[in-house]
Structure 1
Amino acid sequence: MRTSTRTPARLAGALAALALALGGAGLAAPAAHADERACINQVERELRGGEAPDYVRTACSAGLGGDHDLCVSGLTKGGVTNGTAVSACRVAP
């Protein structure tokens, strides 16, 4: 009888782990996009001129891809202060 009581418990544990794994993957994808948006929002607060120009989106996208230096240089070349560029790119990845 011991074997039959262990099997359902193991099956339930495996299904719970699978559900957590799939649910976690579903939550991770939107977070990446939100981080890029956080980078753009940070720059827009400094610019105070409405929607961010294309160079901001390009730089924040580079930051999202993990290239912090390209993100910062792309923003500063466009006129964003170094402090804002560093903090915006820090929230991108």
Structure 2
Amino acid sequence: MRTSTRIAGVLSGLALVLGGAAFTAPAAHADVSACINQVERELQGGEAPEAVRTACSVGYSGGHEECVSGLTKSGVTNGTAVSACKVSVQ
């Protein structure tokens, strides 16, 4: 096998592996980000505090009630908290 063919094969395989990792990794954070973004829209441009980020992460892990509770304790309205936590698990 020629060296150039071997290098091309290795680079193609590496690109597939890294591309697959890059494709799947953001999906894990996209849901938490959607939750945070929804809360930030309510805050009208303000950045979500760490408690909001934590609550959204809990919601992503399946703790919907804990997510809603954490967001409402952070000053988010109940309606926004429910819908933000709902998008965190989608």
- How high is the TM-score relative to the length of structure 2? 0.71
| Partner in structure 2 of residue 15 of structure 1 | none
Structure 2 counterparts to residues 3-82 of structure 1, below 5 A: 23=20, 27-82=23-78
Say how many residue pairs are matched.
Answer: 72
CA distance in 1, matches of 2:24, 2:78: 29
SS in 2 for 1:50: coil
Once the 2 structures are TM-superposed, how far is the Cα of residue 28 of structure 1 from its aligned partner? 3.7
Give the deviation of 1:27 after TM superposition: 3.6
Bigger radius of gyration: 1
2:80 aligns to what?
Answer: 84
Structure 2 regions of 5+ residues with no counterpart? 1-15
User: Aligned with 1:79: secondary structure?
Assistant: coil
Question: Which structure 1 segments of 5+ residues have no match?
Answer: 1-18
How large is the Cα RMSD of the aligned pairs? Answer: 1.8
Structure 1 residue 50 displacement after superposition: 1.9
